[in-house]
Amino acid sequence: MANDYPEVQGGGSLILAWQVKNKNVLVVGGGEVAAGRIVNLLNADAKVTVVCPKDGLNDEVAYRIAQGQVSHLDRVWLPIDLEPEKNVAMVLTAVDDPEASTRIWKYCKKTKVPANIADVPPECDFYFGSVHRDGPLQIMVSTNGNGPRLAAAIRRQIGEMLPAGTGDSIKKVGMLRRKLRRVAPGKGTEDISKRMAWMSRVCDEWSTEEFNNMDEEDMEELVKGYENDVVRSFEDIRLGDTDPDVVWQFDGSFGWM
Ligand SMILES: C[C@@]1(CC(=O)O)C2=NC(=C\c3[nH]c(c(CCC(=O)O)c3CC(=O)O)Cc3[nH]c(c(CC(=O)O)c3CCC(=O)O)/C=C3\N/C(=C\2)[C@@H](CCC(=O)O)[C@]3(C)CC(=O)O)/[C@H]1CCC(=O)O
Ligand SMILES: NC(=O)c1ccc[n+]([C@@H]2O[C@H](COP(=O)([O-])OP(=O)(O)OC[C@H]3O[C@@H](n4cnc5c(N)ncnc54)[C@H](O)[C@@H]3O)[C@@H](O)[C@H]2O)c1
Protein backbone atom coordinates (compact mmCIF):
# COMPACT_ATOMS: atom_id res chain seq x y z
CA MET A 1 0.00 0.00 0.00
CA ALA A 2 1.60 3.29 -1.09
CA ASN A 3 1.84 6.05 1.49
CA ASP A 4 3.88 9.13 2.46
CA TYR A 5 4.63 8.04 6.00
CA PRO A 6 8.25 8.40 7.16
CA GLU A 7 10.27 5.28 6.55
CA VAL A 8 11.51 3.59 9.74
CA GLN A 9 15.33 3.54 10.02
CA GLY A 10 16.14 1.41 13.08
CA GLY A 11 19.48 1.50 14.85
CA GLY A 12 19.29 5.15 15.95
CA SER A 13 18.96 6.75 19.39
CA LEU A 14 15.96 8.52 20.83
CA ILE A 15 17.31 12.07 20.99
CA LEU A 16 15.70 14.08 23.80
CA ALA A 17 16.32 17.25 25.76
CA TRP A 18 16.45 15.72 29.25
CA GLN A 19 15.51 18.10 32.07
CA VAL A 20 17.86 17.71 35.05
CA LYS A 21 17.27 21.13 36.62
CA ASN A 22 17.59 20.84 40.44
CA LYS A 23 17.95 17.06 40.21
CA ASN A 24 20.81 15.21 41.93
CA VAL A 25 23.34 13.83 39.49
CA LEU A 26 26.33 11.77 40.60
CA VAL A 27 29.57 12.03 38.64
CA VAL A 28 32.08 9.26 39.41
CA GLY A 29 35.67 10.25 38.65
CA GLY A 30 37.35 13.65 38.48
CA GLY A 31 39.50 13.55 35.33
CA GLU A 32 39.20 15.23 31.94
CA VAL A 33 36.09 13.37 30.82
CA ALA A 34 34.36 14.07 34.17
CA ALA A 35 35.18 17.78 33.73
CA GLY A 36 33.31 17.78 30.39
CA ARG A 37 30.32 15.96 31.90
CA ILE A 38 30.22 18.47 34.78
CA VAL A 39 30.02 21.49 32.45
CA ASN A 40 27.16 19.86 30.54
CA LEU A 41 25.31 19.19 33.80
CA LEU A 42 25.85 22.69 35.20
CA ASN A 43 24.64 24.17 31.91
CA ALA A 44 21.44 22.19 32.52
CA ASP A 45 21.14 23.47 36.14
CA ALA A 46 21.62 20.05 37.76
CA LYS A 47 22.79 19.60 41.36
CA VAL A 48 26.08 17.79 40.90
CA THR A 49 28.03 15.62 43.33
CA VAL A 50 31.48 14.39 42.31
CA VAL A 51 32.82 11.28 43.99
CA CYS A 52 36.57 10.92 43.49
CA PRO A 53 39.67 10.77 45.70
CA LYS A 54 41.16 14.27 46.06
CA ASP A 55 44.49 13.30 44.48
CA GLY A 56 42.70 12.14 41.31
CA LEU A 57 41.02 15.49 40.58
CA ASN A 58 42.19 17.45 37.56
CA ASP A 59 42.51 21.26 37.74
CA GLU A 60 39.11 22.01 36.22
CA VAL A 61 37.19 19.66 38.52
CA ALA A 62 39.14 20.96 41.56
CA TYR A 63 38.18 24.50 40.47
CA ARG A 64 34.45 23.61 40.24
CA ILE A 65 34.62 22.12 43.75
CA ALA A 66 36.54 25.10 45.18
CA GLN A 67 33.96 27.47 43.64
CA GLY A 68 31.10 25.53 45.23
CA GLN A 69 29.61 24.78 41.81
CA VAL A 70 29.53 21.06 42.68
CA SER A 71 29.66 19.00 45.91
CA HIS A 72 32.54 16.62 46.49
CA LEU A 73 33.00 13.25 48.20
CA ASP A 74 36.72 12.63 48.69
CA ARG A 75 36.80 8.85 48.18
CA VAL A 76 36.09 6.13 45.63
CA TRP A 77 32.50 5.31 44.70
CA LEU A 78 30.52 3.20 47.21
CA PRO A 79 27.04 1.64 46.91
CA ILE A 80 25.82 4.03 49.65
CA ASP A 81 26.10 6.78 47.02
CA LEU A 82 22.93 5.35 45.47
CA GLU A 83 20.86 4.91 48.64
CA PRO A 84 17.22 5.84 47.95
CA GLU A 85 17.46 8.84 50.37
CA LYS A 86 20.13 10.36 48.10
CA ASN A 87 17.49 10.63 45.39
CA VAL A 88 20.02 10.28 42.56
CA ALA A 89 18.39 10.97 39.17
CA MET A 90 21.35 9.97 37.01
CA VAL A 91 24.90 8.59 37.24
CA LEU A 92 27.80 9.45 34.93
CA THR A 93 31.04 7.58 35.38
CA ALA A 94 34.39 8.60 33.89
CA VAL A 95 36.91 6.44 35.70
CA ASP A 96 40.08 4.73 34.47
CA ASP A 97 39.14 1.47 36.21
CA PRO A 98 36.96 -0.80 34.02
CA GLU A 99 36.12 -3.17 36.89
CA ALA A 100 34.85 -0.31 39.05
CA SER A 101 32.86 0.98 36.04
CA THR A 102 31.12 -2.35 35.58
CA ARG A 103 30.36 -2.63 39.31
CA ILE A 104 28.81 0.85 39.27
CA TRP A 105 26.80 0.06 36.12
CA LYS A 106 25.38 -3.14 37.68
CA TYR A 107 24.43 -1.28 40.82
CA CYS A 108 22.74 1.45 38.79
CA LYS A 109 20.69 -1.21 37.03
CA LYS A 110 19.75 -2.81 40.36
CA THR A 111 18.63 0.56 41.74
CA LYS A 112 17.04 1.61 38.39
CA VAL A 113 19.10 4.79 38.05
CA PRO A 114 19.88 5.74 34.42
CA ALA A 115 23.63 5.75 33.78
CA ASN A 116 26.33 6.58 31.24
CA ILE A 117 29.57 4.68 31.63
CA ALA A 118 32.09 6.67 29.55
CA ASP A 119 33.75 4.51 26.92
CA VAL A 120 31.58 1.43 27.48
CA PRO A 121 28.65 1.68 25.04
CA PRO A 122 26.99 -1.60 26.16
CA GLU A 123 26.90 -0.14 29.69
CA CYS A 124 25.09 3.07 28.78
CA ASP A 125 21.39 3.91 29.07
CA PHE A 126 22.21 6.95 26.95
CA TYR A 127 25.20 8.30 25.04
CA PHE A 128 26.54 11.80 25.08
CA GLY A 129 26.78 13.74 21.86
CA SER A 130 28.73 16.71 20.62
CA VAL A 131 26.77 19.90 21.38
CA HIS A 132 26.68 23.32 19.71
CA ARG A 133 25.40 25.91 22.20
CA ASP A 134 24.24 29.45 21.48
CA GLY A 135 22.00 30.78 24.26
CA PRO A 136 18.75 28.81 24.19
CA LEU A 137 19.86 26.89 21.09
CA GLN A 138 21.45 23.47 21.52
CA ILE A 139 22.24 21.19 18.62
CA MET A 140 23.44 17.70 19.46
CA VAL A 141 25.28 15.56 16.96
CA SER A 142 25.43 11.82 17.53
CA THR A 143 27.12 9.27 15.31
CA ASN A 144 25.55 6.54 17.46
CA GLY A 145 28.88 5.21 18.62
CA ASN A 146 30.51 5.13 15.18
CA GLY A 147 32.86 8.10 15.38
CA PRO A 148 32.73 10.47 18.36
CA ARG A 149 35.55 12.65 16.99
CA LEU A 150 33.65 13.03 13.70
CA ALA A 151 30.61 14.10 15.73
CA ALA A 152 32.67 17.01 17.10
CA ALA A 153 33.86 18.01 13.59
CA ILE A 154 30.29 17.92 12.22
CA ARG A 155 29.04 19.95 15.22
CA ARG A 156 31.67 22.62 14.45
CA GLN A 157 30.66 22.70 10.76
CA ILE A 158 26.98 23.11 11.64
CA GLY A 159 27.82 25.89 14.12
CA GLU A 160 29.74 27.79 11.44
CA MET A 161 26.83 27.52 8.97
CA LEU A 162 24.32 29.25 11.23
CA PRO A 163 23.71 33.00 10.81
CA ALA A 164 25.27 35.16 13.52
CA GLY A 165 22.77 35.96 16.27
CA THR A 166 20.70 32.80 15.85
CA GLY A 167 20.62 32.23 19.63
CA ASP A 168 19.52 35.82 20.27
CA SER A 169 16.74 35.56 17.69
CA ILE A 170 15.44 32.44 19.49
CA LYS A 171 15.41 34.39 22.77
CA LYS A 172 13.26 37.04 21.07
CA VAL A 173 10.84 34.42 19.78
CA GLY A 174 10.56 33.10 23.35
CA MET A 175 9.76 36.61 24.61
CA LEU A 176 7.16 37.08 21.88
CA ARG A 177 5.48 33.75 22.71
CA ARG A 178 5.30 34.69 26.39
CA LYS A 179 3.86 38.11 25.49
CA LEU A 180 1.26 36.47 23.25
CA ARG A 181 0.21 34.14 26.06
CA ARG A 182 -0.26 37.15 28.35
CA VAL A 183 -2.38 38.93 25.73
CA ALA A 184 -4.32 35.77 24.79
CA PRO A 185 -4.18 33.48 27.83
CA GLY A 186 -7.04 31.18 26.70
CA LYS A 187 -6.57 27.50 27.56
CA GLY A 188 -9.31 26.03 25.33
CA THR A 189 -8.29 23.91 22.33
CA GLU A 190 -9.45 26.64 19.93
CA ASP A 191 -7.38 29.29 21.74
CA ILE A 192 -4.33 27.04 21.60
CA SER A 193 -4.82 26.25 17.88
CA LYS A 194 -5.23 29.94 17.05
CA ARG A 195 -2.13 30.89 19.06
CA MET A 196 -0.07 28.14 17.44
CA ALA A 197 -1.21 29.02 13.90
CA TRP A 198 -0.43 32.72 14.41
CA MET A 199 2.96 32.02 16.00
CA SER A 200 3.84 29.59 13.16
CA ARG A 201 3.06 32.30 10.60
CA VAL A 202 5.29 34.81 12.42
CA CYS A 203 8.14 32.28 12.52
CA ASP A 204 7.74 31.48 8.81
CA GLU A 205 7.45 35.11 7.69
CA TRP A 206 10.09 36.81 9.85
CA SER A 207 13.84 36.29 9.37
CA THR A 208 16.46 35.62 12.05
CA GLU A 209 17.79 39.14 11.50
CA GLU A 210 14.34 40.70 11.93
CA PHE A 211 13.78 38.79 15.18
CA ASN A 212 17.18 40.04 16.36
CA ASN A 213 16.21 43.64 15.63
CA MET A 214 12.74 43.31 17.16
CA ASP A 215 12.40 45.37 20.34
CA GLU A 216 9.77 45.46 23.09
CA GLU A 217 7.69 48.07 21.22
CA ASP A 218 7.75 46.04 17.98
CA MET A 219 6.51 43.01 19.90
CA GLU A 220 3.63 44.99 21.43
CA GLU A 221 2.74 46.21 17.94
CA LEU A 222 2.96 42.74 16.39
CA VAL A 223 0.74 41.01 18.96
CA LYS A 224 -1.92 43.69 18.43
CA GLY A 225 -2.61 41.91 15.12
CA TYR A 226 -3.31 38.60 16.86
CA GLU A 227 -7.00 39.19 17.58
CA ASN A 228 -7.76 39.75 13.85
CA ASP A 229 -5.33 37.08 12.68
CA VAL A 230 -2.97 39.65 11.15
CA VAL A 231 0.79 39.11 10.93
CA ARG A 232 2.46 42.40 10.06
CA SER A 233 5.92 42.35 8.53
CA PHE A 234 8.88 43.83 10.41
CA GLU A 235 9.18 46.53 7.75
CA ASP A 236 5.53 47.47 8.09
CA ILE A 237 5.82 47.71 11.86
CA ARG A 238 8.90 49.93 11.67
CA LEU A 239 7.76 52.14 8.76
CA GLY A 240 3.99 51.91 8.64
CA ASP A 241 1.58 53.86 10.81
CA THR A 242 -1.53 51.76 10.31
CA ASP A 243 -1.98 51.79 14.07
CA PRO A 244 -4.68 54.43 14.71
CA ASP A 245 -3.03 55.26 18.06
CA VAL A 246 0.05 56.58 16.29
CA VAL A 247 -0.42 60.22 15.29
CA TRP A 248 2.08 61.61 12.79
CA GLN A 249 3.75 64.72 14.18
CA PHE A 250 5.78 67.30 12.24
CA ASP A 251 9.26 67.32 13.76
CA GLY A 252 10.35 70.57 12.11
CA SER A 253 12.49 68.96 9.40
CA PHE A 254 11.72 68.37 5.71
CA GLY A 255 13.61 65.12 5.31
CA TRP A 256 15.96 66.36 2.56
CA MET A 257 17.73 68.85 4.80
C1 LIG B 1 30.68 13.20 21.35
C2 LIG B 1 31.39 13.00 22.69
C3 LIG B 1 30.54 13.63 23.74
C4 LIG B 1 31.13 13.64 25.11
O5 LIG B 1 31.68 12.61 25.57
O6 LIG B 1 31.05 14.72 25.72
C7 LIG B 1 31.58 11.49 22.87
N8 LIG B 1 32.87 11.19 22.77
C9 LIG B 1 33.64 12.29 22.54
C10 LIG B 1 34.99 12.27 22.21
C11 LIG B 1 35.84 11.11 22.09
N12 LIG B 1 35.64 9.90 22.66
C13 LIG B 1 36.69 9.06 22.33
C14 LIG B 1 37.62 9.79 21.51
C15 LIG B 1 38.93 9.27 20.96
C16 LIG B 1 38.91 9.14 19.45
C17 LIG B 1 37.93 8.10 18.90
O18 LIG B 1 37.97 6.93 19.30
O19 LIG B 1 37.11 8.51 18.04
C20 LIG B 1 37.06 11.06 21.35
C21 LIG B 1 37.56 12.21 20.51
C22 LIG B 1 38.43 13.15 21.25
O23 LIG B 1 38.81 12.92 22.43
O24 LIG B 1 38.77 14.16 20.59
C25 LIG B 1 36.87 7.69 22.78
C26 LIG B 1 35.70 6.80 22.89
N27 LIG B 1 34.38 7.18 23.00
C28 LIG B 1 33.61 6.07 23.11
C29 LIG B 1 34.47 4.94 23.12
C30 LIG B 1 34.01 3.50 23.27
C31 LIG B 1 33.66 2.84 21.99
O32 LIG B 1 33.60 3.43 20.90
O33 LIG B 1 33.45 1.61 22.08
C34 LIG B 1 35.78 5.40 22.98
C35 LIG B 1 37.09 4.64 22.95
C36 LIG B 1 37.30 3.93 21.67
C37 LIG B 1 38.45 2.99 21.74
O38 LIG B 1 38.54 2.20 22.70
O39 LIG B 1 39.25 3.05 20.82
C40 LIG B 1 32.18 6.07 23.22
C41 LIG B 1 31.30 7.13 23.22
N42 LIG B 1 31.67 8.43 23.09
C43 LIG B 1 30.55 9.19 22.95
C44 LIG B 1 30.53 10.59 22.99
C45 LIG B 1 29.35 8.34 22.76
C46 LIG B 1 29.06 8.20 21.25
C47 LIG B 1 28.82 9.54 20.54
C48 LIG B 1 28.82 9.46 19.04
O49 LIG B 1 29.07 8.40 18.47
O50 LIG B 1 28.52 10.47 18.39
C51 LIG B 1 29.82 7.00 23.35
C52 LIG B 1 29.27 5.77 22.62
C53 LIG B 1 29.36 6.82 24.79
C54 LIG B 1 29.55 8.03 25.69
O55 LIG B 1 30.68 8.18 26.20
O56 LIG B 1 28.57 8.75 25.94
C57 LIG B 1 32.84 13.54 22.68
C58 LIG B 1 33.16 14.67 21.68
C59 LIG B 1 32.64 15.98 22.24
C60 LIG B 1 33.12 17.19 21.57
O61 LIG B 1 34.33 17.47 21.51
O62 LIG B 1 32.27 17.96 21.11
N1 LIG C 1 33.44 8.84 25.96
C2 LIG C 1 34.35 9.78 25.88
O3 LIG C 1 34.06 10.87 25.46
C4 LIG C 1 35.76 9.50 26.30
C5 LIG C 1 36.82 10.24 25.78
C6 LIG C 1 38.11 9.99 26.25
C7 LIG C 1 38.28 9.00 27.24
N8 LIG C 1 37.22 8.29 27.71
C9 LIG C 1 37.33 7.27 28.79
O10 LIG C 1 36.75 7.78 30.00
C11 LIG C 1 37.46 7.34 31.14
C12 LIG C 1 37.99 8.52 31.94
O13 LIG C 1 38.87 9.26 31.13
P14 LIG C 1 39.69 10.49 31.72
O15 LIG C 1 40.56 11.01 30.63
O16 LIG C 1 38.78 11.43 32.42
O17 LIG C 1 40.62 9.69 32.77
P18 LIG C 1 41.47 10.24 33.99
O19 LIG C 1 42.52 9.22 34.27
O20 LIG C 1 41.86 11.66 33.75
O21 LIG C 1 40.41 10.23 35.18
C22 LIG C 1 39.96 9.09 35.82
C23 LIG C 1 39.42 9.53 37.15
O24 LIG C 1 38.71 8.48 37.79
C25 LIG C 1 39.02 8.50 39.19
N26 LIG C 1 38.68 7.17 39.72
C27 LIG C 1 39.21 5.97 39.42
N28 LIG C 1 38.55 4.99 40.07
C29 LIG C 1 37.57 5.57 40.77
C30 LIG C 1 36.54 5.10 41.64
N31 LIG C 1 36.40 3.79 41.88
N32 LIG C 1 35.68 5.98 42.20
C33 LIG C 1 35.81 7.31 41.96
N34 LIG C 1 36.76 7.83 41.15
C35 LIG C 1 37.62 6.97 40.57
C36 LIG C 1 40.47 8.89 39.20
O37 LIG C 1 40.86 9.36 40.48
C38 LIG C 1 40.48 10.00 38.14
O39 LIG C 1 40.02 11.23 38.70
C40 LIG C 1 38.57 6.43 30.60
O41 LIG C 1 38.09 5.10 30.63
C42 LIG C 1 38.77 6.90 29.15
O43 LIG C 1 39.25 5.87 28.34
C44 LIG C 1 35.98 8.52 27.25
Q: Per residue in 146-172, pLDDT tens? A: 999 999 999 999 999 999 999 999 999
Pocket around ligand 2 at a 6 A CB cut-off: 28-34, 51-53, 56, 58, 76-77, 94-97, 100, 118-119, 148
- Average pLDDT in the 53-69 region? 98
C-alpha 141 – ligand 2 centre gap (Å) = 23
CA distances from 156 to 44, 102, 132, 149, 161 (A): 21, 33, 7, 11, 9
- Paired with 139 in beta bridges are 132
32 CA: nearest ligand 2 atom: 16
CA distance 17 to 129: 12
The reply to whether 204 belongs to the active site is no
Q: Which ligand is nearest to the CA of 57?
A: 2
Q: Which CATH number fits domain 24-128: 3.40.50.300, 3.40.50.720, 2.70.150.10, 3.90.650.10?
A: 3.40.50.720
Task: Give the ipTM.
Answer: 0.94
pLDDT band for position 241 (cuts 50, 70, 90): low
Residues of the chain with CATH 3.40.50.720: 24-128
CATH class, range 130-162 = alpha beta
244 pLDDT tier (thresholds 50, 70, 90): very low
pTM, two decimal places? 0.90
Mean pLDDT of the chain: 93
Convert the pLDDT of each residue in 183-226 to its tens digit.
999 899 999 999 999 999 999 999 999 999 999 999 999 999 99
Q: How confident is the model at residue 242 (pLDDT cuts 50, 70, 90)?
A: low
For the stretch 108-147, pLDDT in tens is 999 999 999 999 999 999 999 999 999 999 999 999 999 9
CATH 3.30.160 placement within the chain: 130-162
- Taking the CA of residue 141 as reference, the ligand 1 atom at the shortest distance is 50
- Whole-number Å distance, alpha carbon 94 to ligand 2 midpoint, is 4
Distances (CA, A) of 165 to 98, 199, 204, 220, 235: 43, 20, 17, 22, 19
Residue 20 has pLDDT above 80, yes or no: yes
